[in-house]
Amino acid sequence: MKNLEESIFLEPATLAEALRFQADEATRGLPLAGGTDLMVQWEAGVRMAPSRVLNLKGLAELHGLSVAGGSLVIGAGVTHAMLRRSPLVRQHAPSLAEAAATVGGAQIQALGTIGGSIGNASPAGDLAPSLLVAHADVEVASVRGARRLALSKFLVGYRKLDLAPDELILRFHVPVLPAGASETWRKLGPRAAQAISKVMGSYRGRVENGHIADFAVALGSVAPTAIRLPQTEAWLRGRALNADTLDGAEQRASAEVTPIADIRSTAEYRRWVSGRLVRGFLEHLASL
C-alpha cells in the first residue's frame, strides 16, 4: 500500500508549467484541486495514493469567473462556495448555484471545485446536470493545444471522460439563462447535508403562449453518467403545458433512465423519482 507521505507533490506556479509536467509520462501527476474526494479515498485506503500528485490549487489561470460572449466562463478551480455566492452565477445559471449550495457541507464547498466535480466523472456529481441543461462546453488543454467540446460529449461513461492523459480541464462555458427562461435544481437524498444523492437533476426551459418552447432536463445517479433525456425533451417540445403533458413526460422520463440499485436506493424507486422530478420541473416551469 502506498502512503500519501511518499507521494511527490508537484507544485506548478503557472498553467504552462502544469501542462509541461503532464506532457511527459515520467513527470505526470494525478491532478488534485480541492481534494475533497481523492484525499478521503486515499486516507480510507479505497484508492492508492499515486506516486505523483499535480496540485492545481495555486494556479491563478483556473480561478476566473466572468461573463463573455453570452456565456458564463467559470474556471475549473472555482469552488462550490464561490458558485453559491457569485451574483453572476445566481443570475445567469441559478440552478448551478442551487446545486453548489447543497454539495457536502461548508468545508467541502469551500475546498471542492467545479473542475474536480466534473473531472471526478461520478454519476452522482451534483453539478453536472445544471451544466448539461445549459448546453455548457468544457475547455481542456495540453502542450499540444487547447480544445473545446460539449460537456455531453466530454462525459463518456462511468468514471470516464474524453480527456487525454496530458490534458487538464481549464474552464467551462455556460450559456447564460435566456430571457424568459427558467431553471432549477432538485435532489432527493437521505438527509440535508453531506449525503450522496439518490437522484438529482436540473432543467432549463421556456414557455411561449402556454406551449413548451424549449426544455432541457438532466438527471444524475440514474445512469453511468449524468444524462440529458433527449427522448422526453423531444416529445415535450411544442406541447401545451397541461396535465396530459405532465403525465406523458413523467412516464417517458421514467422509461428513459437506466438506474442501478445500490446501497442508497433501488432501481425501481430511482426510476419512479426520475419521472416525478421531471413532472416537478414542468410544474415549476408552469408556475412562472
Partner 1 sequence: MSRNFQVVNKSVRKIDALALALGKPMYAGDKVPPGALHIKFLWSPHAHAVIKSIDIRAAEQLPGVRCVLYHGNVPRIPHTTAGQGYPEPSPYDTFMFDTKVRFVGDRVAAVAADTPEIAAAAVAAIQVEYEVLSAVLSIDDAMKDGAPVIHDEPDAFAKIPVQYEPGKNLAAFVGMDVGNLDEGLAGADVVVDESYYAHYAQHCPIEPHVAFGYMDPEGRLVIVTSTQVPFHVRRIVAQCIEMPIRQIRVIKPRIGGGFGVKQEVLMEDVVAMMTVRTQKPCLLTFTREEEFVSSRTRHPIRTRIRLGAKKDGTFTAYGMDCLSNTGAYGSHALTVVCNCGSKMLPLYRAKNIHFTGTAVYTNLPVGGAYRGYGATQSSFAVESAMDELAEKLGVDPLALRQQNHIVSGETSPVFRALGEGKAGVEQSIGSCELAKCITLGAKEIGWKKRGDWRKKTGRMRRGIGMACLMQGSSIPEIDMGAASIKMNEDGSFNLLMGATDLGTGSDTVLAQIGAEALGCDVSKIIVYSSDTDMTPFDVGAYASSTTYLSGAAVKNCAEKVVKQILAVAGQMLGRKPSELAHGDSVVRAKDGSGQVTYSEIALHSLYNAEQHQIGAMSSHITHKSPPPFSAHFVEVEIDTETGALKLLKYVAAVDCGTAINPKLAEGQTEGGVMNGISYALTEEYLFSATGRMTNASFQDYKLFSMRDKPEIKTILVPSYEKTGPYGAKSVSEICINGALPAIANAIYNAVGVRLREGPFTAEKIWRGLRAMGAKA
Report the SS3 class of residue 43.
helix
Give the range of 70-78, 112-120, 165-173, 186-194 binding partner 1 by CB under 8 A. 186-194
Buried b (16+ CB within 10 A) or exposed e, 193-228: eeebbbbbbbbbbbbeeeebebbbbbbbbbbebbbb
Which CB, 91 or 107, lies closer to partner 1?
107
Of 89-97, 144-152, 184-192, 220-228, the segment contacting partner 1 by CB under 8 A is 184-192
CA dist., res. 246 & res. 228, Å (int): 18
Identified binder of partner 1 from the candidate list 58, 157, 190, 238, rule CB under 8 A = 190
Restricted to residues 103-122, the positions that interact with partner 1 (CB under 8 A) are: 105
The end-to-end CA distance of the chain, in Å, is: 55
Q: Considering the complex, state which of residue 152 and residue 197 has its C-beta at the smaller distance from partner 1.
A: 197
242 binds partner 1 (CB under 8 A): no
Nearer Cβ to partner 1 (239/276): 276
Between 197 and 226, how does the x/- string for binding to partner 1 read (CB under 8 A)? -x----------------------------
User: Are 90 and 183 spatial neighbours (Cβ–Cβ below 8 Å)?
Assistant: no
- Closer to partner 1 by CB, 152 or 232: give it: 232
Interface mask toward partner 1 for 264-283; x: CB under 8 A: xxx--x--xx--x--xx---
Listed in sequence order, the residues at least 6 apart from 99 whose beta carbon sits closer than 8 Å to its beta carbon are 126, 127, 129, 130, 185, 187, 200, 202
* Least Å from the CB of residue 121 to partner 1: 18
Binding flag, residue 44, partner 1 (CB under 8 A): yes
Q: Return the residue of 15, 195, 213, 260 that touches partner 1, per CB under 8 A.
A: 195
Give yes or no for residue 171 binding partner 1 (CB under 8 A). Answer: no
Reported as half-sphere exposure (CB side, CA atoms, 13 A), residue 161 has a value of 23
Among 82, 232, 58, which Cα is nearest to 172's?
A: 82
Q: Length of the chain, please?
A: 288
Maximum distance among all alpha carbons in the chain? 63
**Residue 253 touches partner 1, criterion: CB under 8 A:** no
Please report, for residues 22, 95, 126, 202, 245, the alpha-carbon distance to residue 187 in angstroms, rounded to integers and kept in the order given.
36, 11, 9, 9, 22
Total chain residues near partner 1 (CB under 8 A): 24
Q: Which amino acid is at 74?
A: I
Residues at the site binding partner 1, with contacts judged by CB under 8 A: 1, 3, 40, 44, 105, 188, 190-196, 198, 263-266, 269, 272-273, 276, 279-280
